[in-house]
Amino acid sequence: MKTLCITFCWLLFTGLLPTTMLNAQTVTGIVTAASDGNPLPGAVVLEIGTNNSVQTDFDGKYSIILTSKNPKLSFSYLGFQQQTVKVKDLKVINIILQEDTQALREVVVLGYTTQKKIAITGSVTMVDSQNLSIRPPSDYYNTEGYTTIQENDFREVSKNPLSTFSVDVDRAAYSNIRRFINGGDLPPIDAVRIEEMINYFSYDYKEPSRDEPFSINTELSECPWNTKNMLLHIGLQGKKIETEDLPPSNIVFLIDVSGSMESPNKLPLLKSSFKLLIETLRPQDKVAMVVYAGNSGLVLPATPCNEKRTILDALDALNAGGSTAGGAGLELAYKVAGENFIKGGNNRIILATDGDFNVGPSSNAAMERLVESNRDKGIAISVLGFGMGNYKDDKAEIIADKGNGNYAYIDNLLEAKKVLVSEFGGTLFTIAKDVKFQLEFNPAVVSGYRLIGYENRLLNEEDFDDDTKDAGEIGAGHTVTALYEIIPGPAQGKSDLKYQQSDLTANALKGKEIVTLKLRYKEPDGNKSKLLEEVVKNDPESLKKTSDNFRFSAGVASFGMLLRSSKYLEDLTWEKAIQLASDSKGEDEDGYKGEMIRLMKSASLLQLTASNE
């Protein structure tokens, strides 16, 4: 203790210890919305005149250590009036923010800098937080890449009675959309994948039986945005497995350390995210670390997780610089994973990148072939996306889809905690692979249908029974949700066929069944699929009697349709979509649903200002 005191005094005498640390003041509190009293996660608390800022957590709580004399704090959240408070001797400051339709035209504080919205294209003008002088960004070039999505149209049941698609448990689109909206901009249309928005949220489905990896849950009611039609809700609930019962993991971190990863929301956030995962891993798990820039290299051989300090030190030592040899990095990561393969375990590469592969075999086709050639060996690959401006969503999605893994976009540390800690089992442990749906609609009672989302997951009719066709994976505890908008009434058009006609069966003519749902899946280490089948009765219930699952998923779909300016909006408005989601929020322990409702309100204001320009 005496030595510690002497050292402290020496630091103070030599000036190496700032005198401000002697009287450092910590302020804590909660930021809430005046409209509903709910906490505001991700609100920015900034010590004015400094670069010192924090964000509120999912409960709206914050804690900030002040660094200046006579400090003032500003509290801001997109779509709300900014508040400024003199701290004085206060230790606790709770703030209630008022909504403001003009807030989107004002300066929005974003941590070290602020942004002022000038267009809906993703371009921004940076504003210095010290003197608010406007300056153009010196290195901002928006070259983000997204796969083009053509919205699913209605299909005639008389000509297309079968609808076949692969499941999808990716959630990257939602957090990426959140990044755009929180930055004061609307996302590009092709960044909006509605099925990923819906599946970002967990739903209260029944648990599966002991013999099956998941349960099937269905509901049928009127369609909220077109009451002439019906909406079919399908939900899968994956079997939950306690962490201690999960098989051991052989994980290879494949980390992009190229020059494009230098930004604070890339490599620094990546390191913090992986630290959360490392703390979650057990002694029986092991981690290796491969990096790539101009060249690729092994910076940490497979290390058991009872040596976490060694793993953390290797992670802390990483720095960004150079070009991006993504292909070489992938090849090395697969080699390392294969050398440390655990039979019956979880063998997985976690690729963390902004997706900017620009050296070596960088085309999407080459990456796809590389991943496909390795997945049958039992090594999966998941992708964590980071950053903005040059983000390559299309490449990240291809790698995860073809590599029997999942794909998440990490826009902040809270999202990293959700993906890598709260949903640890679902993110890393597969309970069923190559999961496919096929629905057969009854032409006696259904005229047409459209699958909402899943545009890049559609399969041919014959793919359903073909066990060589790749499909999606479901992780432990994951939920998967799909929605169909259905046009009721007998199908038309049979007489248009010149060479064949189909007579309806007795089951169809009875009209008691609206659809037969078939599902195929394989065990994680299996090659032959198993078949499940369930019939949905033609017995819709009123929207008011449906579950929160039904109405909230419809609210999320409405959000996505509005962002995409869907041609099937009918009488859907932002007000109706927000009300639908708000009324069905139910229990929201982690605040994700409340956060989405606030995003919807912000997006509606952004769309309003865009239409007025």
**What DSSP string runs through 49-110?**
TSS-EEE--TTSEEEEEE-SSS-EEEEE-TTB--EEEE-TT-SB--EEEPB-TTGGGS-EEE
Domain at 394, CATH number: 3.40.50.410
Is the domain of 266 the same as that of 402?
A: yes
CB 552 within 8 A of CB 586: yes
Is the domain of 215 the same as that of 235?
A: yes
The neighbouring-strand residues paired with 346 are 249
According to the model, what pLDDT value does residue 128 have? 32
Is the domain of 101 the same as that of 226?
A: no
What is the extent of the structural domain holding 311? 245-420
Does position 172 have pLDDT exceeding 80, yes or no? yes
Q: Using DSSP bridges, classify how beta strands 155-156 and 430-441 pair: parallel, antiparallel or unpaired.
A: unpaired
The neighbouring-strand residues paired with 303 are 287
Domain at 112, CATH number: 2.60.40.1120
Does position 4 have pLDDT exceeding 60, yes or no? no
Lowest mean pLDDT among 20-29, 197-206, 259-268, 561-570: 20-29
Confidence of residue 289 (pLDDT cuts 50, 70, 90): very high
Find how far residue 363's CA is from the centre of its chain: 24
Is the domain of 131 the same as that of 192?
A: no
According to the model, what pLDDT value does residue 110 have? 33
User: Is residue 96 included in any domain, yes or no?
Assistant: yes
Find, among 85, 112, 82, 114, the residue nearest to 100 by Cα.
Answer: 82
User: Is residue 463 included in any domain, yes or no?
Assistant: yes
User: Is residue 141 included in any domain, yes or no?
Assistant: no
Lowest mean pLDDT among 162-171, 289-298, 546-555: 289-298
> DSSP string covering 361-389, please?
S-SHHHHHHHHHHHHTTT-EEEEEE--SS
| Residues in CB range of 503: below 8 A, 6 or more apart | none
Is the domain of 252 the same as that of 181?
A: no
CA dihedral 554, 555, 560, 562 (to 10 degrees): 110
User: Is residue 347 included in any domain, yes or no?
Assistant: yes
Does position 3 have pLDDT exceeding 70, yes or no? no
Lowest mean pLDDT among 317-326, 472-481, 528-537: 317-326
Q: What is the 3-state secondary structure of 279-292? A: HHCCCCCEEEEEEE
Mean pLDDT of 294-320: 91
CA angle (572 as vertex; 568, 573 as ends), nearest 5:
135
Find, among 344, 317, 331, the residue nearest to 250 by Cα.
Answer: 344
Confidence of residue 334 (pLDDT cuts 50, 70, 90): very high
Mean pLDDT of 138-151: 74
User: Is residue 149 included in any domain, yes or no?
Assistant: no
Lowest mean pLDDT among 9-23, 246-260, 332-346, 471-485: 9-23
User: Is residue 229 included in any domain, yes or no?
Assistant: yes
Confidence of residue 258 (pLDDT cuts 50, 70, 90): confident
| Residues in CB range of 498: below 8 A, 6 or more apart | none
Is the domain of 288 the same as that of 383?
A: yes
Beta strands, E only, 93-185: 95-97, 108-110, 113-117, 124-128, 134-135, 155-156, 162-166
Does position 535 have pLDDT exceeding 90, yes or no? yes
- Whole-angstrom Cα Rg for the chain: 26
Find how far residue 584's CA is from the centre of its chain: 21
Is the domain of 271 the same as that of 415?
A: yes
Tokens of 243: 């962490």
Q: pTM of the predicted model, to two decimals?
A: 0.80
| Residues in CB range of 331: below 8 A, 6 or more apart | 296, 370
Rounded distance between C-alpha atoms, residue 33 and residue 24, angstroms? 29
Q: Can you tell me whether residue 248 is helix, strand or coil?
A: coil
User: Is residue 148 included in any domain, yes or no?
Assistant: no
User: Among 376, 396, 420, where does a domain finish?
Assistant: 420
Is the domain of 295 the same as that of 416?
A: yes
CB atoms within 10 A of CB 553: 27
Lowest mean pLDDT among 174-178, 390-394, 564-568: 390-394
- How many structural domains compose the chain? 3
Is the domain of 388 the same as that of 361?
A: yes
Rounded distance between C-alpha atoms, residue 223 and residue 233, angstroms? 10
Q: Between 3 and 417, name the one with better pLDDT.
A: 417
Lowest mean pLDDT among 67-71, 99-103, 116-120: 116-120
User: Is residue 28 included in any domain, yes or no?
Assistant: yes
Does position 532 have pLDDT exceeding 60, yes or no? yes
CB 300 within 8 A of CB 311: yes
Is the domain of 123 the same as that of 252?
A: no
User: Can you tell me which residue has the tokens 């609808």?
Assistant: 163
- Residue 24: phi, psi to the nearest 5? -55, 135
According to the model, what pLDDT value does residue 611 have? 72
CB 270 within 8 A of CB 261: yes
CB atoms within 10 A of CB 562: 22
Is the domain of 177 the same as that of 78?
A: no
Tokens of 31: 């930021």
Residue 236 exposed, middle or buried by CB count within 10 Å (0-12, 13-18, 19+): buried
Does position 195 have pLDDT exceeding 90, yes or no? yes
Rounded distance between C-alpha atoms, residue 148 and residue 159, angstroms? 26
- Residue 459: phi, psi to the nearest 5? -125, 155
Q: What is the pLDDT of residues 51-87, one digit of tens each?
A: 788 888 767 889 999 988 889 999 988 667 889 999 9
Domain at 533, CATH number: 2.60.40.1230
Rounded distance between C-alpha atoms, residue 27 and residue 89, angstroms? 9
Does position 138 have pLDDT exceeding 50, yes or no? no
Is the domain of 399 the same as that of 294?
A: yes
